Chain A
Amino acid sequence: MCSYVIETKRLTKKYGEQTAVNAVNIHVEKGRIYGLLGRNGAGKTTIMKMILGLTPVTSGEIDVLGQNIKGREKRVYPRIGAIIETPGFYPNLTGTENLEIFAKLRGTAAPNAVKNALDIVGLPYRDKKLFSKYSLGMKQRLGIANAILHDPELLILDEPTNGLDPIGIAVVRDFIKDLSTERGKTILISSHILSEIALLADDVGIIDHGVLLEENSMETLKRKNSKYILLQVSDIPKTSLVLERQFGVTDYSVQDDHSLRIYNTSLDMAAVNKALVVQDVAVISSQLCNDTLEDYFKKITGGEGIA
């Protein structure tokens, strides 16, 4: 009955007195990219660590791939690939040697898995360079390669583009998208960069101070925040009729008893106003709104927002 790949139920984490994650219910659907968006210290990493069993859960439950995670770690974790914060590798080994160690420990990886994974992230195979001499971006790429080594169904990526240059970010973004669209992977990704999530995610969870403020599809979120005409009128049903019959407008949404949003901003509002008056509908106000996602994010987190 539940088709979620990850579902948390009132997931809570306390570090002493501080509640880092507060009764969070997230729902990650199969084959989609779920973006966990929040500012520094919002609790993104902590949620991911709890899903991966790296830190104990204070209360609440986690279901992954259709089963409650508790006691089934051995069966569930091999189906997940993850990077948490900056990836850790052995500094005295090369990238290839590092991946070979992880591949051996996993035991499930295909024979040429290491080479494939390195190819995907654009790192050379059997290069002599030691991990300790890697740049931040190379380290991050190696981390991603390690996460996809065993072809997992679910990827949990904590700020995977951290430290990458703009071109690197675009490359990683493209192949994360490919993993989802072409290979049907489910991906949970966190970021504090709104534009990144906006470009990548199908669904978004906005988290602030450990509380999940909103969970919605990107489509809905974008729609909520695109350009629209906010129309406040005395009679919504009559207005709807006028809009549909006389102007052929179907792309609008009703906000409450007295206001609706029209997403076709090129509509001749003077004509609409006239038509409404004819129908005995009082037009209280009509204004063009242009909220960006960022404005929205600021509004719901009640803070200064994020870049």
Chain B
Amino acid sequence: MTIIFTEILKWKRNKTVWGIFILTAILGVFAVERACNISRSSPLMDSFGDLYTLAFKNLTSLFLPIVLGMFATTLFFDEQKNDTLKGLLIIPVSKAQLYFSKIAVVILMSLGLCLFTFVICIVGGLIAGGFTDLNTETILQAGLLFLAGGALIPVAMLPIIFLATLSKGYILPIGAVLLYLVPVVLVPSQLMGLHPLASVMGIYPHISPAAIEMANSWTGNAVITASPMTCSVSLLAIGIISIIVSVIVLQKKTF
């Protein structure tokens, strides 16, 4: 616990964190702005579900994976760049402890951004007005979807975080994030159950009813063959393998 807490302390006065939150706010505001401009009679924006899934899509389809990939890279690389690693190791803090605390921080960051967008959606829904279904039930559904996205996307990013622990610079992991995203953007439905980020998309429709519509627009109405079970198992398996490989590689690495 202490080590996770100190991980957060290390981010004090860091401009990157502010930048990330500001960009997230802008993305959320975009969705709210659409809600204000589209009539409630249009099927695009006739329910609160339309608003929150739009905001969710804006946040999680590209932005969140990229941000988390870069954030994780900085977390690991800065410890090397600032030469603080040797100071931590002789305390001693083990490399595995350090790895897990950094993963925890990535998950917290992800949950934080999702929660932030969630709040923007509720406030935005009230401001835009006219949502007859804006009630506790739909808010709860939205909350669950954001929670799922916030928790699952970091898991889907574990293979990239593995590269972040391995590399000696920013370029490799950031390039890898982009390459990682390309297939998911091109053929999301076929990759569900194979590619972690696609698998996460395969899980959303089973969390919130409004997410079914969202998933359909994502995949261009393609039939999703992979079951949510397959998606979850595959996501988890790839995540665990990434964790094991990361910890082993970190142990081997000398500085």
Contacts and interface: CB of A to CB of B under 8 A. Distances in A.
A105 B91 contact: yes
Contacts of A87: 83, 87
Contacts of A222: none
Interface string B1-31: 0110110011111100000000000000000
A73 interface: yes
B178 interface: no
Given A90-B82, A91-B82, A78 B91 contact: yes
Contact of A92 (B12, B86, B255): B12
Nearest to B82: A88
Nearest to B6: A101
Contacts of B12: 92-93, 97
Q: Of A73, A90, A104, which is in contact with the most chain B CB atoms at under 10 Å from its CB?
A: A90
Given A54-B255, A101-B10, A107-B2, A80 B86 contact: no
Contacts, number: 72
B14 A92 contact: yes
Interface string B76-102: 000000111111111111000000000
Q: Of A73, A78, A101, which is in contact with the most chain B CB atoms at under 10 Å from its CB?
A: A101
Contacts of B82: 88-91
A125 interface: no
A53 B92 contact: yes
B132 interface: no
Contact of A53 (B11, B87, B90): B90
B254 interface: yes
A206 to B, nearest CB: 26
A152 B6 CA distance: 22
A105 B88 contact: yes
Nearest to B11: A92
Given A55-B254, A90-B10, A80 B2 contact: no
B10 A77 contact: no
A54 B93 contact: no
A101 B79 CA distance: 14
B13 A92 contact: yes
B86 A54 contact: yes
Contacts of A100: 9
Contacts of B87: 87-89, 102, 146
Contacts of B255: 54-55
A52 B90 contact: yes
A228 B203 CA distance: 87
Nearest to A56: B254
Given A78-B91, A105-B2, A105-B93, A97 B84 contact: no
A74 interface: yes
Contacts of A89: 82, 84, 87
A93 B90 contact: no
Nearest to A103: B6
Interface of A: 52-56, 73-74, 77-78, 80, 82, 84, 86-93, 97, 100-102, 104-107, 130, 146
Given A53-B89, A104-B5, A146-B87, 15 more contacts: A52-B90, A54-B89, A77-B90, A77-B92, A86-B83, A88-B85, A89-B87, A92-B14, A101-B10, A102-B87, A102-B91, A105-B88, A105-B93, A106-B91, A130-B13
Interface of B: 2-3, 5-6, 9-14, 82-93, 254-255
User: Across chains A and B, which 10 residue pairs bring their CB atoms closest together, nearest first?
Assistant: A88-B83, A88-B84, A77-B92, A92-B13, A101-B6, A52-B90, A88-B82, A105-B91, A104-B6, A90-B10
11 contacts: A52-B89, A54-B86, A54-B89, A54-B254, A74-B92, A82-B90, A88-B86, A89-B82, A101-B6, A107-B2, A130-B13
